[in-house]
A and B are shown apart, each in its own frame.
Chain A
Amino acid sequence: MYNISEVAFYGLSTLAIFSALMVVFSRNPVHSVLYLVVCFFAISGHFLLLNAQFLFVVNIIVYAGAIMVLFLFTIMMLNLNRESEPHKNIILKLAAVVSGCLLLLVLVAALKGAETTTAMPIDAIKDPNIGLVKNLGKELFTRFVLPFEISSILFIAAMVGTVMLGKKKLT
Protein backbone atom coordinates (compact mmCIF):
# COMPACT_ATOMS: atom_id res chain seq x y z
CA MET A 1 0.00 0.00 0.00
CA TYR A 2 1.58 3.23 -1.13
CA ASN A 3 0.63 6.61 0.18
CA ILE A 4 -0.08 9.48 -2.17
CA SER A 5 3.24 11.29 -1.81
CA GLU A 6 5.20 8.17 -2.72
CA VAL A 7 3.06 7.65 -5.79
CA ALA A 8 3.58 11.31 -6.71
CA PHE A 9 7.33 11.00 -6.13
CA TYR A 10 7.75 8.00 -8.40
CA GLY A 11 5.47 9.46 -11.05
CA LEU A 12 7.28 12.79 -11.09
CA SER A 13 10.70 11.11 -11.11
CA THR A 14 9.75 8.93 -14.06
CA LEU A 15 8.40 11.95 -15.91
CA ALA A 16 11.51 14.01 -15.14
CA ILE A 17 13.94 11.31 -16.29
CA PHE A 18 11.92 10.50 -19.40
CA SER A 19 11.64 14.13 -20.47
CA ALA A 20 15.30 14.81 -19.69
CA LEU A 21 16.25 11.88 -21.93
CA MET A 22 13.94 13.17 -24.64
CA VAL A 23 15.67 16.58 -24.44
CA VAL A 24 18.88 14.83 -25.47
CA PHE A 25 17.46 12.38 -27.98
CA SER A 26 14.94 14.44 -29.94
CA ARG A 27 16.26 15.66 -33.28
CA ASN A 28 14.28 18.89 -33.40
CA PRO A 29 15.76 21.50 -31.02
CA VAL A 30 12.37 23.12 -30.44
CA HIS A 31 11.03 19.74 -29.29
CA SER A 32 14.00 19.53 -26.93
CA VAL A 33 12.98 22.83 -25.36
CA LEU A 34 9.39 21.65 -24.95
CA TYR A 35 10.58 18.47 -23.24
CA LEU A 36 12.75 20.66 -21.02
CA VAL A 37 9.60 22.53 -19.96
CA VAL A 38 8.04 19.20 -18.97
CA CYS A 39 11.19 18.35 -17.04
CA PHE A 40 11.07 21.66 -15.18
CA PHE A 41 7.44 21.10 -14.23
CA ALA A 42 8.30 17.64 -12.88
CA ILE A 43 11.14 19.09 -10.82
CA SER A 44 8.78 21.81 -9.55
CA GLY A 45 6.53 19.01 -8.36
CA HIS A 46 9.46 17.63 -6.39
CA PHE A 47 9.81 21.02 -4.69
CA LEU A 48 6.19 20.69 -3.63
CA LEU A 49 6.90 17.25 -2.14
CA LEU A 50 9.83 18.76 -0.22
CA ASN A 51 7.56 21.37 1.42
CA ALA A 52 9.08 24.19 -0.64
CA GLN A 53 5.88 25.77 -1.92
CA PHE A 54 7.36 29.16 -2.73
CA LEU A 55 10.24 27.62 -4.65
CA PHE A 56 7.68 25.57 -6.56
CA VAL A 57 5.98 28.71 -7.84
CA VAL A 58 9.27 30.51 -8.48
CA ASN A 59 10.61 27.54 -10.40
CA ILE A 60 7.57 27.59 -12.67
CA ILE A 61 7.65 31.36 -13.19
CA VAL A 62 11.37 31.71 -13.76
CA TYR A 63 12.46 28.43 -15.30
CA ALA A 64 9.42 27.19 -17.18
CA GLY A 65 8.50 30.75 -18.17
CA ALA A 66 11.46 33.03 -18.57
CA ILE A 67 14.46 30.73 -18.99
CA MET A 68 12.56 28.79 -21.65
CA VAL A 69 12.14 31.97 -23.66
CA LEU A 70 15.88 32.48 -23.45
CA PHE A 71 16.46 28.95 -24.71
CA LEU A 72 14.12 29.57 -27.63
CA PHE A 73 15.93 32.81 -28.44
CA THR A 74 19.22 30.95 -28.38
CA ILE A 75 17.82 28.37 -30.79
CA MET A 76 16.58 31.16 -33.03
CA MET A 77 20.00 32.77 -33.05
CA LEU A 78 21.59 29.57 -34.30
CA ASN A 79 21.29 28.74 -37.94
CA LEU A 80 19.44 25.45 -37.91
CA ASN A 81 18.68 24.89 -41.55
CA ARG A 82 19.15 21.25 -42.33
CA GLU A 83 21.52 21.69 -45.25
CA SER A 84 23.84 24.00 -43.34
CA GLU A 85 23.95 21.84 -40.23
CA PRO A 86 27.55 20.82 -39.58
CA HIS A 87 28.22 17.11 -39.61
CA LYS A 88 30.11 16.15 -36.50
CA ASN A 89 33.06 13.90 -37.18
CA ILE A 90 33.72 10.66 -35.32
CA ILE A 91 36.50 12.04 -33.08
CA LEU A 92 34.20 14.78 -31.81
CA LYS A 93 31.49 12.23 -31.03
CA LEU A 94 34.00 10.02 -29.23
CA ALA A 95 35.23 12.99 -27.17
CA ALA A 96 31.63 13.82 -26.24
CA VAL A 97 30.98 10.26 -25.08
CA VAL A 98 34.20 10.16 -23.04
CA SER A 99 33.53 13.50 -21.34
CA GLY A 100 29.92 12.53 -20.63
CA CYS A 101 31.07 9.28 -18.99
CA LEU A 102 33.63 11.21 -16.94
CA LEU A 103 30.90 13.57 -15.71
CA LEU A 104 28.75 10.57 -14.77
CA LEU A 105 31.70 9.09 -12.87
CA VAL A 106 32.24 12.32 -10.94
CA LEU A 107 28.55 12.64 -10.08
CA VAL A 108 28.27 9.03 -8.93
CA ALA A 109 31.46 9.31 -6.87
CA ALA A 110 30.25 12.54 -5.28
CA LEU A 111 26.81 11.18 -4.41
CA LYS A 112 27.91 7.72 -3.28
CA GLY A 113 29.40 8.85 -0.02
CA ALA A 114 26.84 11.54 0.67
CA GLU A 115 24.87 11.30 3.86
CA THR A 116 21.18 10.80 3.40
CA THR A 117 20.38 13.14 6.27
CA THR A 118 20.40 16.82 5.48
CA ALA A 119 22.24 19.65 7.15
CA MET A 120 18.98 21.36 8.05
CA PRO A 121 17.51 20.85 11.50
CA ILE A 122 15.00 18.06 11.25
CA ASP A 123 12.26 20.10 12.95
CA ALA A 124 12.40 22.63 10.15
CA ILE A 125 11.76 19.93 7.55
CA LYS A 126 8.98 18.40 9.62
CA ASP A 127 7.05 21.65 9.54
CA PRO A 128 4.91 21.48 6.40
CA ASN A 129 4.56 25.25 6.25
CA ILE A 130 8.29 26.00 6.18
CA GLY A 131 8.29 26.74 2.47
CA LEU A 132 5.47 29.24 2.47
CA VAL A 133 6.29 32.80 1.47
CA LYS A 134 5.95 34.19 4.98
CA ASN A 135 8.21 31.69 6.73
CA LEU A 136 10.74 31.72 3.92
CA GLY A 137 10.90 35.51 4.06
CA LYS A 138 11.52 35.47 7.81
CA GLU A 139 14.50 33.18 7.34
CA LEU A 140 15.77 35.03 4.31
CA PHE A 141 15.79 38.45 5.93
CA THR A 142 17.15 37.44 9.34
CA ARG A 143 19.53 34.48 9.15
CA PHE A 144 20.40 34.67 5.48
CA VAL A 145 20.36 38.43 4.96
CA LEU A 146 24.04 38.62 3.98
CA PRO A 147 23.84 36.00 1.21
CA PHE A 148 20.71 37.78 0.05
CA GLU A 149 22.54 41.10 -0.31
CA ILE A 150 25.49 39.42 -1.97
CA SER A 151 23.18 37.82 -4.52
CA SER A 152 22.52 41.29 -5.91
CA ILE A 153 26.26 41.56 -6.69
CA LEU A 154 25.78 38.40 -8.72
CA PHE A 155 22.94 40.10 -10.58
CA ILE A 156 25.14 43.11 -11.35
CA ALA A 157 27.80 40.75 -12.70
CA ALA A 158 25.17 39.08 -14.88
CA MET A 159 23.93 42.44 -16.19
CA VAL A 160 27.46 43.67 -16.97
CA GLY A 161 28.30 40.40 -18.69
CA THR A 162 25.15 40.49 -20.78
CA VAL A 163 25.68 44.07 -21.87
CA MET A 164 29.36 43.52 -22.60
CA LEU A 165 28.70 40.44 -24.73
CA GLY A 166 25.49 41.46 -26.39
CA LYS A 167 25.97 45.14 -27.11
CA LYS A 168 27.95 46.54 -29.95
CA LYS A 169 30.51 49.18 -29.00
CA LEU A 170 29.04 52.66 -29.21
CA THR A 171 31.68 54.53 -31.14
Chain B
Amino acid sequence: MKEQSLVSDYIPILIQLCVAIGFVVATMLATHLIGPKRKGANKLESFECGIESEGNARLPFSVKYFLTAILFVLFDVEVIFMYPWAVNYKTFLHEMGMQGFFSMVIFLSLFLVGFYYIVRKGALKWE
Protein backbone atom coordinates (compact mmCIF):
# COMPACT_ATOMS: atom_id res chain seq x y z
CA MET B 1 0.00 0.00 0.00
CA LYS B 2 0.99 3.61 -0.47
CA GLU B 3 2.50 5.71 2.21
CA GLN B 4 -0.14 7.48 4.19
CA SER B 5 -0.42 10.03 6.87
CA LEU B 6 -0.10 8.37 10.23
CA VAL B 7 -3.03 7.76 12.50
CA SER B 8 -1.38 10.08 14.99
CA ASP B 9 -1.98 12.98 12.56
CA TYR B 10 -5.70 12.50 12.99
CA ILE B 11 -5.76 12.29 16.77
CA PRO B 12 -7.06 15.87 17.28
CA ILE B 13 -9.88 15.17 14.78
CA LEU B 14 -10.67 11.88 16.46
CA ILE B 15 -10.82 13.57 19.87
CA GLN B 16 -13.15 16.22 18.51
CA LEU B 17 -15.33 13.54 16.88
CA CYS B 18 -15.50 11.60 20.14
CA VAL B 19 -16.48 14.72 22.08
CA ALA B 20 -19.15 15.66 19.54
CA ILE B 21 -20.71 12.18 19.40
CA GLY B 22 -20.33 11.75 23.15
CA PHE B 23 -22.14 15.01 23.82
CA VAL B 24 -25.06 14.03 21.60
CA VAL B 25 -25.36 10.55 23.10
CA ALA B 26 -24.97 11.82 26.66
CA THR B 27 -27.59 14.55 26.34
CA MET B 28 -30.08 12.22 24.64
CA LEU B 29 -29.59 9.56 27.32
CA ALA B 30 -29.83 12.16 30.07
CA THR B 31 -33.10 13.57 28.79
CA HIS B 32 -34.54 10.08 28.48
CA LEU B 33 -33.48 9.14 31.98
CA ILE B 34 -34.14 12.38 33.86
CA GLY B 35 -37.09 13.83 31.95
CA PRO B 36 -40.70 12.98 32.78
CA LYS B 37 -42.58 10.59 30.53
CA ARG B 38 -46.15 11.46 29.64
CA LYS B 39 -47.74 9.50 26.83
CA GLY B 40 -51.25 10.68 26.20
CA ALA B 41 -53.06 10.74 22.88
CA ASN B 42 -52.74 14.50 22.79
CA LYS B 43 -49.11 14.43 23.86
CA LEU B 44 -48.08 12.23 20.93
CA GLU B 45 -49.73 14.40 18.29
CA SER B 46 -47.39 15.99 15.76
CA PHE B 47 -48.77 19.44 16.58
CA GLU B 48 -50.22 19.97 20.00
CA CYS B 49 -52.36 22.93 19.14
CA GLY B 50 -53.75 24.67 16.10
CA ILE B 51 -55.67 23.16 13.25
CA GLU B 52 -56.06 19.38 13.30
CA SER B 53 -53.68 17.86 10.78
CA GLU B 54 -55.17 15.98 7.87
CA GLY B 55 -53.67 13.29 5.65
CA ASN B 56 -49.94 12.60 5.62
CA ALA B 57 -46.86 14.66 4.89
CA ARG B 58 -46.36 13.18 1.42
CA LEU B 59 -47.64 16.15 -0.49
CA PRO B 60 -45.88 17.39 -3.63
CA PHE B 61 -43.88 20.46 -2.70
CA SER B 62 -43.52 23.56 -4.78
CA VAL B 63 -40.52 23.69 -7.09
CA LYS B 64 -39.40 27.05 -5.73
CA TYR B 65 -37.88 25.43 -2.63
CA PHE B 66 -35.86 23.20 -4.91
CA LEU B 67 -34.77 26.17 -7.02
CA THR B 68 -33.42 28.02 -4.00
CA ALA B 69 -31.70 24.90 -2.68
CA ILE B 70 -29.93 24.08 -5.94
CA LEU B 71 -28.75 27.67 -6.35
CA PHE B 72 -27.44 27.47 -2.79
CA VAL B 73 -25.45 24.34 -3.64
CA LEU B 74 -23.84 26.06 -6.63
CA PHE B 75 -22.64 29.00 -4.54
CA ASP B 76 -21.62 26.59 -1.78
CA VAL B 77 -19.25 24.86 -4.18
CA GLU B 78 -17.94 28.25 -5.28
CA VAL B 79 -17.02 29.14 -1.69
CA ILE B 80 -15.23 25.78 -1.32
CA PHE B 81 -12.95 26.77 -4.21
CA MET B 82 -12.00 29.84 -2.21
CA TYR B 83 -10.50 27.88 0.70
CA PRO B 84 -7.37 26.63 -1.15
CA TRP B 85 -7.02 30.07 -2.72
CA ALA B 86 -7.25 31.98 0.54
CA VAL B 87 -4.79 29.69 2.35
CA ASN B 88 -2.20 30.23 -0.38
CA TYR B 89 -2.88 33.91 -1.03
CA LYS B 90 0.33 35.27 0.50
CA THR B 91 2.48 32.65 -1.22
CA PHE B 92 0.92 33.57 -4.55
CA LEU B 93 1.62 37.27 -3.98
CA HIS B 94 5.28 36.54 -3.27
CA GLU B 95 5.82 34.07 -6.09
CA MET B 96 3.63 35.13 -8.97
CA GLY B 97 2.59 38.70 -8.26
CA MET B 98 -0.97 39.46 -9.14
CA GLN B 99 -1.62 36.36 -11.24
CA GLY B 100 -3.01 34.41 -8.31
CA PHE B 101 -5.28 37.31 -7.48
CA PHE B 102 -6.61 37.70 -11.01
CA SER B 103 -7.26 33.99 -11.45
CA MET B 104 -9.78 34.28 -8.64
CA VAL B 105 -11.13 37.59 -9.99
CA ILE B 106 -11.90 35.93 -13.33
CA PHE B 107 -13.54 32.99 -11.60
CA LEU B 108 -15.68 35.23 -9.42
CA SER B 109 -16.63 37.59 -12.24
CA LEU B 110 -17.88 34.63 -14.25
CA PHE B 111 -19.88 33.68 -11.19
CA LEU B 112 -21.23 37.20 -10.97
CA VAL B 113 -22.48 36.89 -14.55
CA GLY B 114 -24.50 33.89 -13.43
CA PHE B 115 -25.68 35.70 -10.33
CA TYR B 116 -26.76 38.70 -12.43
CA TYR B 117 -28.72 36.33 -14.66
CA ILE B 118 -30.42 34.78 -11.62
CA VAL B 119 -31.35 38.15 -10.15
CA ARG B 120 -32.62 39.54 -13.45
CA LYS B 121 -34.73 36.45 -14.05
CA GLY B 122 -36.21 36.91 -10.60
CA ALA B 123 -35.33 33.35 -9.59
CA LEU B 124 -34.82 34.37 -5.96
CA LYS B 125 -38.14 36.20 -5.72
CA TRP B 126 -40.63 34.38 -3.52
CA GLU B 127 -44.01 34.47 -5.21
Instruction: Give chain A's interface residues, CB within 8 Å of chain B.
Output: 3-6, 49-51, 53-54, 58, 61-62, 66-67, 69-70, 73-74, 76-81, 125-129, 133-134, 136-138, 140-142, 145, 148-149, 151-153, 155-156, 158-160, 162-163, 166-167, 170
Given A76-B61, A163-B123, the answer on whether A62 and B87 have CB atoms closer than 8 Å is no
Residue from A67, A126, A148 whose CB has the most chain B CB atoms within 10 Å = A148
Q: How many A-B residue pairs have CB under 8 A?
A: 142
Residues of B within 8 A of A166 (CB): 63-64, 66-67, 70, 123
Asked whether any CB of chain A lies closer than 8 Å to the CB of B49, the reply is no
Least CB separation from B109: chain A residue = A152
Given A77-B60, A134-B88, the answer on whether A148 and B72 have CB atoms closer than 8 Å is no
Residues of B within 8 A of A62 (CB): 73, 76-77, 80
Majority DSSP secondary structure for residues of B touching A: helix
A73 and B83 CA atoms in complex are apart in Å by 28
A92 and B53 CA atoms in complex are apart in Å by 37
A66 and B81 CA atoms in complex are apart in Å by 16
Least CB separation from A67: chain B residue = B73
Which chain B residues numbered 38 to 72 have a C-beta less than 8 Å away from chain A? Answer: 56, 58-61, 63-67, 69-72
A156 and B91 CA atoms in complex are apart in Å by 29
Asked whether any CB of chain A lies closer than 8 Å to the CB of B32, the reply is no
Query: Is the Cβ of B58 less than 8 Å from the Cβ of A70?
Result: no
Give the interface residue-count category, chain B.
Answer: 35 or more
Q: What's the least CB distance linking A100 to chain B, in Å?
A: 27
Contact of B61 among A66, A73, A142, A160 (CB under 8 A): A73
Query: Is the Cβ of B71 less than 8 Å from the Cβ of A159?
Result: yes
Contact of A51 among B4, B60, B64, B96 (CB under 8 A): B4
Query: Is the Cβ of B91 less than 8 Å from the Cβ of A138?
Result: yes
Given A141-B84, A156-B114, the answer on whether A70 and B4 have CB atoms closer than 8 Å is no
A163 and B121 CA atoms in complex are apart in Å by 8
Q: What's the least CB distance linking B81 to chain A, in Å?
A: 7
**Between-chain CB contacts (< 8 Å), 19 pairs:** A3-B1, A69-B73, A73-B66, A74-B66, A76-B60, A76-B65, A80-B58, A127-B3, A128-B9, A129-B5, A133-B87, A134-B87, A148-B103, A151-B81, A152-B111, A162-B70, A163-B121, A163-B123, A167-B122
